[in-house]
Chains A and B, each alone.
Chain A
Amino acid sequence: MKLSVPQFWRVKESLYRLVLTRCLNCGRVSVFKRPACPYCGSPSIAHEESQGIGVVESFTKVYYKQDSSEDRLPEVVAVVRLSEGVRIVGEVVGVKVDEVSEGMVVEAVLRRYTSDDPYGVIYYGLKFKPLKQGNTQ
């Protein structure tokens, strides 16, 4: 077993739900459920769930081999601006890699990340898929 089940389970609110951290001191919003604001360091924060809708701001086609997902290469990893105004980086699926474009509207979707082996535990998390065909720009 190469992955820890408790470790995965512990961060479920950032992997399975798109929980954001809103700073009650500086007002900035950051991705993931955090104990403190990454911008000003304040522990005075509130957590909220993103709607999971965003726009692709930039992206790259990835060919870099580093795990058992090579059969899925190339894959697209994009900077997505969520409707709450915060940016997140994640994989874009459900579309041909050559059809991903800047301005594409996407939504968060639960997809397979990796697995221990062909018969082992499968680990899931959020990726992004096109909300609808075409651009908003």
Chain B
Amino acid sequence: MGAYIVGGSIVKVDRHFEYGYRDLAYKVLSSCEVCGDPDYIVVASALPELMAHQVDLGVHIVQWAGRRVPVVRVESGESSGVAAVEVATSLVRSGTARKVVVLGVEKVTEYPTYIANRMYSLILDYEFEVLRGISPPVYAALAMKELMRSGFSRECFSSWAVRMHENATRVPHAMLRFRISVESFKDAQVLAEPVTLYDSFALGDGASAIAISSEPADYEVAVEVKYSSSEVGLPAYARDRVSGLEASTKLFRQLEEKFGVDLRKVAVELHDSYTPYPIALLHSLGYIDTRCELGELEYVNLSGGLKARGHPIGATGIYQVYEVFKLLTGGFDGVSVNSEVGVVHSMSGPDNLSRVLLLRRWK
């Protein structure tokens, strides 16, 4: 039995001080036309225990919405959203449910940014990394330095961010809808040399929902979840190179070998939490060399990516899936692709765990 995305909804990634977890979830569920009467709801969220002192978030969202639907929450760090899609797809494919709503929701503005940073850093190993002073920007910096030693220029990474901001200017739900220049990096706040704030994702609140059904004929449009896979990588400190994204590379090689996926021809949303990671991945896959020319990759991160659309940690994967769904079924607000195939890539940490989804337009 197949699993098909038949619609969804999102809220703008932003600082939603007026909304909590339940409010954002209710807001996106209410605006999702195809999300009514599901057999199951799968909630993706990474930080509610830390941000809102809330365990079993899924139940409280469903009760708040006045529903009586079975619910489970999926937490897999930054890749929670795509993990939730994997779970929902399994429920549909197995015949357990005919329709599942996958709801991603995250609040990251309940505390000052430095506290949010502390909570986000817990995607790393608390005892062996966080306590020792290692944070996600540290690994990004070490990865960038490795790549620069291999011949990449500093401007290569800046160019990625510039392109993401340019893409985000056309995306209504993006958090950072303004342009930046390579020159602006000179004055950017340094997180861990040589990584700056401009190399980092935009941290914002968000909520996103999609409906996955076994009955695509009942809906106006449908995109099949053709394939999903995930890989666990080595801890970054145990690798020969921090920038060696073996788990992600292996997943994309699988997509090439099994389905002939060419990233120059499909809509693809890459996990670009820090600029060295998409550069390292595209280089390892052979799409770019040290000149860092991204021209042929015209459908990569049309959303603006985590960099500019924003990164509501556990909800981000559902944004990515919704965006590719929209691109394959007509586009959004003037942004479109000439392709019936799309790929979503999600990582948690520096390739500690990576997931991919292959989506194909059904009708």
Interface set of A (CB-CB < 8 Å, partner B): 7, 11, 14-15, 30-32, 38-39, 58, 60-67, 69-70, 75, 77, 79, 87-91, 113-114, 123, 125-127
Contacts and interface: CB of A to CB of B under 8 A. Distances in A.
25 contacts: A15-B127, A15-B131, A38-B234, A38-B238, A58-B145, A60-B142, A60-B145, A60-B194, A61-B192, A63-B189, A63-B191, A64-B191, A65-B117, A66-B114, A66-B115, A69-B133, A70-B114, A75-B133, A77-B134, A87-B238, A88-B237, A90-B133, A113-B133, A125-B131, A126-B132
Interface in B299-315: none
A38 B239 CA distance: 10
Contact of A62 (B118, B138, B189, B237): B138
Contacts of B128: 11, 14, 32
Contacts of A60: 138, 141-142, 145, 192-195
A86 to B, nearest CB: 8
Interface string B77-119: 0000000000000000000000000000000000001110110
Nearest to A89: B237
Nearest to A62: B192
Contacts of A69: 133
Given A64-B192, A66-B121, A70-B114, A58 B146 contact: yes
Nearest to B235: A38
Interface in B118-176: 118, 121, 127-129, 131-135, 137-138, 141-142, 145-146
B52 interface: no
Contacts of B121: 66
A65 B113 CA distance: 8
Interface residues of B, number: 33
Contacts, number: 93
Interface string B187-219: 001111111000000000000000000000000
Main secondary structure of the interface of A (DSSP, over half): strand
Contacts of B132: 89-91, 113, 125-127
A87 B113 CA distance: 31
A14 B138 contact: no
B138 A89 contact: yes
Given A61-B193, A66-B114, A66-B121, A79 B142 contact: yes
Most buried by A among B134, B195, B238: B238
A90 B128 CA distance: 10
Contacts of B193: 60-61
Interface in B222-241: 234-238
Interface in B13-51: none
A126 B134 CA distance: 13
A125 B129 CA distance: 12
B238 A64 contact: no
B62 to A, nearest CB: 32
Nearest to A65: B114
A77 B192 contact: yes
Contacts of B115: 66
B127 A11 contact: yes
Contacts of A87: 237-238
Given A60-B145, A64-B192, A77 B131 contact: no
Contacts of A11: 127-128
Contacts of B238: 30-31, 38-39, 87
Given A58-B146, A67-B114, A67-B118, 4 more contacts: A31-B238, A65-B113, A89-B129, A127-B133
Query: Which of A31, A66, A79: most chain B Cβ within 10 A?
Result: A66
A108 B238 CA distance: 18
Contacts of A113: 131-133
Nearest to B115: A66
A61 B128 CA distance: 20
